[in-house]
Structures are given as structure tokens and as C-alpha cells.
Amino acid sequence: MRIPKEVYDLKNVHIEQLRPYLIPSKKRLRPRRCKKIIFLCFTNRSGSNFLAELLGSTKQVNIAGEFLNFDTALTHIRKGDLSSFYDYFVGLADTLSVNGNFACKIAITQIALIQQAGLLDDLMPNSRFVVSERADLLGQAISLEIASRTGQWTSYMQPTGAVAEADFNHNRLEMIIRNLAREQELFRLFFAINGLDHFPVGYEQLTSHTETVMRMLCEWLEMQAPPDCFERTSTQRQSDSVNNAWRSRFLGVSAQL
């Protein structure tokens, strides 16, 4: 598999922190229980947690988590006395898979990580790529900035900080929008240069036509979804008056430039 060179231009804390473990596995292990790996490609605040929970509600796959984050991986590598990230991922896929299906969230920098670990080519024949994306990048940027300030990344987490309308920063929001757009484009470039099929899930369509979108996705993944399984989720939308106020201020400033 080819990784776009632009991906390696991005700061990649995961590769930096996990470099001692990005070595060939002593034994070329393969998942035994896991038959299909679903990579849930995401940018922050794209609705990926909601999508992961909906997929998990089918009881045909685990709820995809951010298992590739360097801190999570390091904790389990050290606890399990593992020699490589390769061994960590293969063991994780077998341990968490449900009915032979394992789902894992993956950021664009983590595509490079699994390639450096020697996993990407080995896992490709059994992998499927689902892309969580959001058309409203301004809304996504505002949501990301608020989450980073409050520490509340999901609706069921307790905030560790507060944010107010006065914290609005036009330049920072524009920078976040540019970064999100770039990450989305790099995912598309990765799929294009490798001729990889993928299933895009738009946040706006997912929230307005949940049942329809999820039925189509499950059919593409060749997974059975029980009746009414998509009606019960704990993830809630977090938008409030600050989101709306920042949007108005951002667009107002933009209109005057």
C-alpha cells in the first residue's frame, strides 16, 4: 500500500511515541478469531463516536474505539509485555472481535502508523474502510475547539473546563477548518492512489436518516442488523448557544473581509 507523502508531512505523535515498537513481529501472527477488520476513518468531531455506537448496536461487531492512540497502545504493550505494536494490534483484534468482526477508529496519521508497524499490507485483504465525515466543517471546527477547551469529547463525559462566547477566536477556527479539510482530502487521496473501495458516511445524513444510512452501511459490510437496533444510543448531540454564537461571529467577520 502507498501512503501519500503529504501524510508524512503531518506531525505524527503516534509514530514518535511508538517508534521503539514499530519493529517486525518475532512471529508473523494473524488474527485467528477476527475475520474482518472495519477501519472507521475519522477526523475529530465528525460524528465517529455516534457511528461506532450505531454499528455496535447490531451486536455483530464491537464498538470501535481509538485503540491506535499512542497512550492506549503503550499501556497495553507494557502491561502485556509485548515486543511490538504488530503483536498488540493482532491480539486486540482477536480479543475484541464479535462474530469475527473487529472495528477500530483510525485517523489519517494512524494509517501511516500501521504501515510503519508492518500491518497495513498484511491486513488489507480482510479490511474494509468506512469514512465518517462532516460537510459542515465550520460546525465541526467549533465543536472541536469547544471539546478541546472543556475536555468533554462525548455527551456522557463530564466537562473539566468551561467555554464562553467571549472565548471566540476567528483565526483559530479558520486554522482548524483548514486542518480538517486537509485530513479529509488525504483520506480520499489514500483511497484513490491505492484503488481502495470505501463507504462514506456523512454526519448530516446519519443524524437525519439514521435507519436508512445504517441499513445501507450494514449491507455493504455484509452484516445483519436486527430490527430497531438503531433506535437506542447513548450518544447525544452537544451543540448549544455557544456553538451558534461562534458561528454567527465567524460568518460575520468573514463577510467583512
Residue 163's pLDDT band (cuts 50, 70, 90): confident
Nearest by Cα to 29 from 78, 95, 74: 95
Residue 149: the pLDDT is 86
pLDDT in tens, 1-44: 999 999 999 999 999 999 999 987 666 656 778 899 999 999 99
**Beta carbons of 198 and 106 less than 8 angstroms apart:** no
Within 10 Å of residue 99's Cβ, how many Cβ atoms? 16
* Residue 206, burial from CB neighbour count under 10 angstroms (0-12, 13-18, 19+): buried
Nearest by Cα to 53 from 215, 229, 219: 229
pLDDT at 253 exceeding the cut of 60: no
- 65 DSSP assignment: B
Query: Which residues make Cβ contacts (< 8 Å) with residue 45, sequence separation at least 6?
Result: 134, 140, 143, 144, 147
